[in-house]
Structure 1
Amino acid sequence: MSDERTVPHGSDSRVAALGAVVFDAPDHHAAARFWRELTGGTVDRAADDWVSVVTPDGWGLDFQPAPDLVPPQWPGQDHPQQLHLDLRVPDVAAATTRAVALGATVLRENPGWTTLADPAGHPFDLCHAPDNDGLTVMGVTFDVPDASAAAAFWSRLLGEPVVHDSDGTAMLGGQRALLFQQVEGYTAPRWPDPAFPQQVHLDLVIGEEGLDVAEAAALDAGATRLPGNEDTFRVFADPAGHPFCLCTS
């Protein structure tokens, strides 16, 4: 029998809410264009150093320049993927053909889903959802050494319930699902080490309590402070080494 645990609700309070999934890319304008066309999203903001796309189902996908990005080399663990998007589509074959036409590369075909890489090398999955009306974002999946521990940390940070925890995978509920898959030989990001940089990270939006209070709560939950201190954001790593930002907006 599998050891499956379901937690009916998250913590009584949350440190922050998920704001956006942020991709590092050598050409962030090209990366944003690919994801906008793939998802049918709209550009919310475009600047020399940032492009924000909002998908039709409300996910924020942001893109920042990283000229020296070391791209994922999936499925190996020398420079592995760190986290990726899972997308629901009614027809995996048709969606794959369209993604390839936009510049994606097929990495592996599996029963029920296909793994591809975007033009910057970030893997993503197209998952079969026959009743889906077009393409939607299912969630963000983290590679981690311990799925249960990762889910517990992010549940405390976001105040969302752990709705699945079994056999090396875990999942948070809420409107923006986070998933965690246990990886043998896990290699963590070492940001800001340029040899092992972040590839994708989450921007989390705090409430009116301010950055000092949010930082204290994040550290108490198990986060580690990283370099990067601006008036509007601070940088941290989760216990598995994934960078994330606490932002005022």
Structure 2
Amino acid sequence: MDNTTESTPAIRYVAVTFDCPDPAELARFYGEALDLPALYSSEDFVLLGREGAPGLAFSRLAGHRPPTWPDPAHEKRAHLELGVDDLDAATTRMLKLGATEPAAQPAPTRWRVLLDPAGHPFCLTTLA
């Protein structure tokens, strides 16, 4: 029987990374929307966040194909849920930043589905 104590390595959640055709453009969009500064930036990768807190990252992917939500032909893999106080005001702000609003809205009085400049769906909700 071995009495050596092995320490468990610490693992920290750092960021969620989105594939996209233009990391700088997507970082600008989310950075302005969420008031997050760039912690690291290169031509192919941008990490937004604050020191010591999880962030959002954007990685260039050649041949990136945006999801076709709500059409399942090219499904979304993940999406952000962003909490807001005023659904209409937040929708207007995100549209001004470059989001688009698809016609399909499953529950428009509870949350709004928008598409970021790279076509990733994200939701605005008053539930959180």
- Give the TM-score band, short-chain normalised: 0.7 to 0.9
**Alpha-carbon distance, 1:133 to partner:** 5.0
**Whole-Å Cα distance in 2 between the matches of residues 239 and 167 of structure 1?**
18
Task: Give the 4+ runs in structure 1 shifted more than 6 A.
Answer: none
* Higher share of residues assigned strand: 1
Instruction: Give the corresponding residue for 1:141.
Output: 17
1:190-237 CA deviation, whole Å, 9 max, x = no partner? Answer: 10111111121110011x3x1110000000000011221432210001
Map residues 221-240 of structure 1 onto 2, 5 A cutoff: 221-226=97-102, 227-228=104-105, 229-240=107-118
**Whole-Å Cα distance in 1 between the matches of residues 45 and 26 of structure 2?**
10
Instruction: Give the corresponding residue for 2:4.
Output: none
**Whole-Å Cα distance in 1 between the matches of residues 99 and 35 of structure 2?**
15
Q: TM-score, normalised by structure 1?
A: 0.44
Helix, strand or coil at the partner of 1:236: strand
Aligned with 2:71 (options 176, 179, 193): 193
Q: TM-score, normalised by structure 2?
A: 0.84
**Alpha-carbon distance, 1:152 to partner:** 0.3
| Equivalent residue letter for 1:233 | W
**Alpha-carbon distance, 1:134 to partner:** 2.6
1:153 and 2:29 correspond: yes
| Equivalent residue letter for 1:151 | A
Map residues 107-186 of structure 1 onto 2, 5 A cutoff: 133-174=9-50, 175-186=53-64
Aligned with 1:242 (options 108, 120, 124): 120
1:213 and 2:92 correspond: no
Helix, strand or coil at the partner of 1:160: coil
**Whole-Å Cα distance in 2 between the matches of residues 167 and 218 of structure 1?**
25
What percent of counterpart residues are identical? 38
Check whether the contact 1:155–1:172 (CA below 8 A) recurs between aligned residues: yes
Q: Unaligned stretches of 5+ in structure 1? A: 1-131
Map residues 66-105 of structure 1 onto 2, 5 A cutoff: none
Q: Unaligned stretches of 5+ in structure 2? A: 1-7
**Whole-Å Cα distance in 1 between the matches of residues 17 and 114 of structure 2?**
18
Aligned length: 116
**Whole-Å Cα distance in 2 between the matches of residues 151 and 136 of structure 1?**
22
**Whole-Å Cα distance in 2 between the matches of residues 136 and 233 of structure 1?**
30
**Whole-Å Cα distance in 1 between the matches of residues 15 and 39 of structure 2?**
14
**Alpha-carbon distance, 1:167 to partner:** 2.5
